[in-house]
């Protein structure tokens, strides 16, 4: 049996989902992603998606960028792009996947278009998370080492399964949809050369590809049965070592009984996740009395697997071209915390100021050894002060990850702050109530009504 067919069999067997831990996590991640997407629709980083969406034809699927809806595939593209625009969306750290930015747009678009219930949409979304995480765990960073973002290349195939499931596909059509999506899979890390905003397209394109793949499979198009394990399949084409298929087969053994979504991390800083423990470390030192004007030099120790994203090339990271590019700059983000006392959405709406850039230039980085990356995002910071003393701090894992979980209150507060930038207070509370009881709703259209209640 092919891996695609084995996954579909496990997918079917996992219905209905009754595990409280999976349902709780699923609802909270839905809320988190909706809030981030709505916030992006109010900020410059979302402008390209807003302008693009104005050219789209109307359709039944909700758009976070305008009151009128769009076709399922178009809505998945735009909503996925908005959710990922701010680097504020959730991540499962051990597998290094941004789940919701791909899976929620696909589930909402397909579910709303097909007239799915809230419970069916939530179940498909949770199962998509479980499949994505298992791909990442099996690959052990192989996608990233070859320069591909797993969220995009693997996300297209899992978005296809979500969409096909919600559209009422047969098992054969679900298998075909994964194979069709493989031919659309894309998403490379070359954006790091200049911090360009195209990265936001990665999950949006994957969601779009998944919806189209499901529609094509339903129309009779075929796809390769061996889309995961084949000689030109997902693992061998997109991972550096060409391995992972055997591990994925093993990962499927507990699909539907072990719920990894409960370990997916919420992000509380709108930047590359690898930087979050460094922001926290700088904030701790500030609370202990360390100020920017005392710092002579700083050493930032980071795991080797994370360093290429936020440290290389160091000269470029010391002077990012704009606020968005700074989301992947280790020295500038740490300096922002010391100079301005915060790293939040407003931090990245402007280019770093001179004081921040000057402090960043006094920093260097080293490999952190030993480390637990990617299972934990660790950080060590050490600063020489102008009195000759050395002040240091270590963060063992990022807040919001499984080892340091965020509370429901933390997640709801983040949602209110983000969604409240775009929609009215009553709509914010309406979405919370709707999503927390998602599996009781007969259809999803109320979400469109609530998202359309924009701030005046």
Give pLDDT, residue 41.
Answer: 96
Tokens of 179: 């194979």
Please give the CATH number for the structural domain made up of 3-268+405-451: 1.10.4100.10
Question: Starting at the edge strand that comes first in sequence, how are the strands of the sheet with 363-367 ordered?
Answer: 363-367, 295-302, 379-385, 390-395
List the pLDDT tens digit at each of the 456 positions of the chain: 999 999 999 999 987 898 999 999 999 999 999 999 999 999 999 999 999 999 999 999 999 988 889 999 999 999 999 999 999 999 999 999 999 999 999 999 999 999 999 999 999 999 999 999 999 999 999 999 999 999 999 999 999 999 999 999 999 999 999 999 999 999 999 988 888 899 999 999 999 999 999 999 999 999 999 999 999 999 999 998 888 999 999 999 999 999 999 999 999 999 999 999 999 999 999 999 999 999 999 999 999 999 999 999 999 999 999 999 999 999 999 999 999 999 999 999 999 999 999 999 999 999 999 999 999 999 999 999 999 999 999 999 999 999 999 999 999 999 999 999 999 999 999 999 999 999 999 999 999 999 999 997
> What gap in Å lies between CA 177 and CA 181, rounded to an integer?
6
Strand 379-385 to strand 390-395: parallel, antiparallel, or no bridges (unpaired)? Answer: antiparallel
Helix, strand, coil shares, percent, the chain, to 5: 55, 10, 35
* Selection from 26, 106, 101, 25 nearest residue 62 by Cα: 106
What are the structural domain ranges in the chain? Answer: 3-268+405-451, 273-395
User: Hey, how many other C-beta atoms are within 10 angstroms of the C-beta on 145?
Assistant: 14
Q: CATH topology of 3-268+405-451 equal to that of 273-395? A: no
Stated as kind and residue range, the H or E segment containing 162 is helix 150-166
Stated as kind and residue range, the H or E segment containing 232 is none
Query: In which residue are the tokens 């609530």 written?
Result: 450
According to CATH, the topology of domain 273-395 is 60s Ribosomal Protein L30; Chain: A; (3.30.1330)
| Residue pLDDT, tens place only, 430-451 | 999 999 999 999 999 999 999 9
User: Hey, how many other C-beta atoms are within 10 angstroms of the C-beta on 275?
Assistant: 29
> What gap in Å lies between CA 106 and CA 166, rounded to an integer?
10
């Amino acid at each position: 049996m092919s891996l695609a067919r084995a996954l579909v069999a496990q997918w079917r067997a996992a219905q209905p989902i009754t595990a409280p831990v999976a349902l709780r996590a699923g609802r909270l991640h839905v809320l988190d992603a909706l809030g981030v997407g709505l916030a992006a629709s109010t900020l410059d980083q979302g402008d390209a998606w807003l302008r693009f969406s104005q050219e789209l034809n109307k359709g039944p699927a909700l758009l976070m960028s305008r009151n009128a809806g769009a076709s399922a595939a178009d809505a998945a593209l735009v909503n996925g792009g908005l959710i990922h625009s701010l680097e504020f969306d959730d991540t499962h750290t051990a597998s290094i996947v941004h789940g919701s930015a791909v899976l929620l747009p696909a589930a909402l678009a397909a579910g709303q278009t097909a007239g799915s219930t809230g419970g069916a949409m939530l179940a498909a979304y949770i199962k998509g998370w479980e499949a994505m995480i298992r791909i990442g765990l099996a690959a052990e960073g192989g996608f990233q080492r070859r320069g591909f973002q797993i969220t995009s290349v693997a996300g297209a195939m899992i978005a296809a399964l979500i969409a096909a499931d919600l559209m009422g596909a047969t098992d054969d059509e679900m298998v075909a949809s994964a194979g069709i999506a493989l031919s659309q899979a894309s998403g490379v890390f070359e954006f790091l050369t200049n911090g360009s905003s195209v990265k936001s397209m990665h999950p949006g394109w994957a969601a779009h590809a998944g919806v189209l793949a499901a529609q094509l499979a339903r129309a009779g198009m075929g796809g390769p049965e061996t889309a995961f394990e084949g000689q030109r399949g997902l693992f061998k084409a997109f991972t550096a070592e060409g391995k992972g298929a055997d591990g994925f087969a093993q990962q499927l053994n507990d699909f539907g009984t072990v719920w990894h979504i409960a370990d997916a991390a919420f992000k509380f800083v709108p930047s590359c996740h690898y930087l979050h423990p460094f922001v926290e470390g700088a904030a701790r030192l500030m609370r202990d009395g360390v100020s920017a004007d005392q710092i002579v030099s700083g050493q930032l120790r980071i795991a080797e697997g994370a360093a290429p994203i936020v440290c290389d090339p160091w000269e470029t990271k010391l002077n990012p071209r704009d606020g968005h590019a700074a989301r992947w700059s280790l020295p500038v983000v740490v300096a922002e915390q010391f100079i301005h006392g915060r790293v939040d959405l407003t931090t990245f709406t402007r280019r770093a100021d001179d004081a921040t850039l000057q402090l960043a230039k006094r920093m260097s980085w080293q490999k952190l050894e030993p480390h637990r990356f990617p299972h934990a995002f660790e950080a060590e910071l050490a600063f020489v002060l102008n009195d000759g003393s050395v002040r240091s701090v270590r963060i063992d894992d990022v807040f919001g990850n499984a080892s340091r979980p965020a509370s429901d209150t933390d997640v709801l507060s983040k949602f209110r702050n983000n969604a409240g930038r775009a929609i009215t207070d009553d709509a914010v509370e309406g979405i919370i109530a709707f999503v927390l009881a998602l599996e009781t709703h007969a259809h999803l259209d109320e979400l469109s009504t609530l998202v359309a209640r924009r701030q005046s």
